[in-house]
Amino acid sequence: AQTVTQSQPEMSVQEAETVTLSCTYDTSENNYYLFWYKQPPSRQMILVIRQEAYKQQNATENRFSVNFQKAAKSFSLKISDSQLGDTAMYFCAFMKHGGGGFKTIFGAGTRLFVKA
């Protein structure tokens, strides 16, 4: 069975600085997708960034980038120039495509506080 581990329950960062959130996963699959989702307090879950496992190039989306190490099964999220609006719960997620459909496994989450 697949598992996703986020070892940092809480983190804080000063506004405008850079922070890295860690995520490791365990799977025997070769084709899968990885995601980081953001869930602001009392607000909707939104997709931050995606990575297809077959792509070696690390995904980037504006201030957000990932360090995808397939052999090490590691998928960390780097947030550059942190903003107050980045304060949220961040979830790492693993999606496998099997049985004709999708199944997503989430990590426990990392609560990020951005301080002014």
Partner 1 sequence: KAGVTQTPRYLIKTRGQQVTLSCSPISGHRSVSWYQQTPGQGLQFLFEYFSETQRNKGNFPGRFSGRQFSNSRSEMNVSTLELGDSALYLCASSFGGGLETHSYEQYFGPGTRLTVT
**Minimal distance, residue 9 CB to partner 1, in Å:** 11
Contact residues for 65 (Cβ-Cβ < 8 A; gap 6+)? 49, 58, 59, 77, 78, 80
Instruction: Note whether 39 and 88 are within 8 A (CB).
Output: yes
Q: What are phi and psi of 80, to 5 degrees?
A: -95, 155
Pick the binder of partner 1 from 22, 78, 106, 113 (CB under 8 A). 106
CA distances to 12, 35, 36, 55 from 79, rounded to whole Å, are: 12, 14, 11, 21
Say whether residue 64 binds partner 1 (CB under 8 A).
no
Q: What are phi and psi of 86, to 5 degrees?
A: -80, -10
Say whether residue 102 binds partner 1 (CB under 8 A).
yes
Pick the binder of partner 1 from 3, 55, 60, 103 (CB under 8 A). 103
In the complex with partner 1, the residue whose CB is nearer, 82 or 96, is: 96
Say whether residue 108 binds partner 1 (CB under 8 A).
yes
Pick the binder of partner 1 from 66, 90, 109, 112 (CB under 8 A). 109
Please give the residue ranges that form the binding site for partner 1 (CB under 8 A).
Answer: 33, 37, 43-47, 50, 91, 95, 97-109
